[in-house]
Amino acid sequence: MISAFQIESYRQDGFLILPQLFSLEEMALLYSVATDETVTSNSFDLNDQDGKKTKLTLWFTAGDDSFGLMSRCKRMVESVQQLLGSGEVCHFHSKIMQKQPKVGGAWEWHQDYGYWYKNGFLFPEAMISVMLALTDANKENGCLQVLKGTHKMQRMEHTFIGEQQGADPDFVIEAEKISELVYCELKAGDVLFFHPNLLHRSEANLSEKPRWSVISAYNLSYNKPFREKHTSCITPVSMVRDEAILASGQKKVSGADFLVKEAEITLNVK
Ligand SMILES: O=C(O)CCC(=O)C(=O)O
């Protein structure tokens, strides 16, 4: 259970870290499913400003594979419910971020709602991103950075910077002047919840170590997007027991409805 104090700190800061929400045993299982070729062969690259490639594999429907069970398990869904308030929790999409040693690219300053607005979601307050660290994430390997409290600034204009969308740089400069920059260093198994209007970015991974994570995005069913064809975001999740991940053993993410990078994809779902 998330305490009233933690809920308040999410409201004030726009993010919340829950250390070790997943056990080492669960993390070993999830990491081995993440590195399986069913995930890696469905990944695509997005170039950052310097042409460095950042790799991700994204799918919509949370199924019965190990990651589907992770995003539907009681501790995740109930934590999301507590932070979003009343409404039916739906899984919008999950994505495995694969920042390879030395080459993994950066993510520009952005708000997730800068993308999701373009899918026609009307209520940012009904949405949240949840990052589970699959490996330790630190300054050296390009952990997530946030500008604390910027979720209260509301949505900024987002335009393409390289192949990614970034928030209007003039607004980012002003936000940086008055907001604390926080490096969200995580251990494998730690979970970071963040608000869709929170400005965040990450630097390239120039270290010798991989930085992998999975980010599940959730939405409340009343927030029906008018430009999104995938229906996972308005389909209430079928919650499973916390024990289901280990009880099911390694289940590959095969047959998922993966996002495919095509020339015409605007990648608003990111
Ligand atoms: O994984 C990262 O470093 C950044 C990911 C991110 O910013 C996002 O998915 O919105």
E strand or H helix that includes residue 8: helix 4-13
Ligand 1 centroid–CA 124 distance in Å is 17
Query: CA 162, CA 255: separation in Å to the nearest integer?
Result: 30
Atom 7 of ligand 1 has which residue's CA nearest to it? 201
Ligand 1 centroid–CA 29 distance in Å is 22
Ligand 1 centroid–CA 233 distance in Å is 19
Atom 10 of ligand 1 has which residue's CA nearest to it? 112
At 267 the pLDDT is 54
Ligand 1 centroid–CA 131 distance in Å is 9
The residue type at 240: V
Give per-residue pLDDT as tens, 35-49.
Answer: 999 999 999 998 888
Whether the Cβ atoms of residue 196 and residue 112 lie closer than 8 Å to each other? yes
Q: Which ligand 1 atom is nearest residue 202's CA?
A: 3
Across 117-123, average pLDDT:
97
Ligand 1 centroid–CA 201 distance in Å is 6
Residue 255 pLDDT exceeds 50 = yes
Residue 72 pLDDT exceeds 50 = yes
- List residues near ligand 1 (CB under 6 A): 97, 107, 112, 144, 200, 202, 213, 215, 270
Residue 152 pLDDT exceeds 80 = yes
Low-confidence winner among 37-41, 219-223, 262-266 (lowest mean pLDDT): 262-266
Give per-residue pLDDT as tens, 163-198.
Answer: 889 999 999 999 999 999 999 999 999 999 999 999
Residue 156's φ and ψ, nearest 5 degrees, are -105, 165
Q: What percent of the chain has pLDDT over 70?
A: 97
* DSSP letter, residue 232: G
Give per-residue pLDDT as tens, 7-31.
Answer: 999 999 999 999 999 999 999 999 9
CATH domain 12-248 topology = Jelly Rolls (2.60.120)
Atom 1 of ligand 1 has which residue's CA nearest to it? 97
Residue 264 pLDDT exceeds 70 = no
